[in-house]
Amino acid sequence: MANWIKTLKVADVPEGQARVFDANGTKIAICHAEGSFYAIDDLCTHDGGPLGEGEMEGLFIQCPRHYAKFDVRTGKAVTLPAVGYVATYPVQVEGDYVLVDIGSPTHATKGKVQMTT
C-alpha cells in the first residue's frame, strides 16, 4: 500500500551525492544522480554497510565498507562482494521536497536479500 512521505529538501541533496533520511526507523538513502532522485535502503546486502555514506559515480553508489557498487535505479549489486538487490522506493519531487513511497519497496524487504535478476 502506498505511503508517501516527505523526506529531504531537494536543495539538501546535491547532484552526485546521497543523504540518509530516517523514516521512523527505516533508513533510506536519497540519491541525486544524473538529474533525478532515487531512494534505496541504507543497508548493503553484503554486511549491512551504510550505503548512503558511500561515494556516487553516475547512477551507482559504492558501499563505504568493502566497496561493492549498486545501481541506484534498481538496487542491484553490480560488483562483489555484495550480491542481490537492496530495496528501492518510488520517488517524486513536489515543490522543494523529495517524496518517497515507503509503502512500496521493490526487490527486497528490509533485512532480506532477494536474488532475483
The contact set with ligand FES (CB under 6 A) reads 44, 46-47, 49, 63, 65-66, 68, 81-82
Q: Which is closer to ligand FES, CB of 19 or CB of 46?
A: 46
CB atoms within 10 A of CB 30: 25
Q: Which is closer to ligand FES, CB of 78 or CB of 93?
A: 78
Least distance between ligand FES and beta carbon 67 (Å):
6
Least distance between ligand FES and beta carbon 42 (Å):
11
Q: Which three cell numbers stand for residue 97?
A: 521536497
Least distance between ligand FES and beta carbon 18 (Å):
14
Burial class (CB in 10 A: 0-12, 13-18, 19+), 35: exposed
Instruction: Assign 83 to helix, strand or coil.
Output: coil
- 26, 110 contact by CB (below 8 A): yes
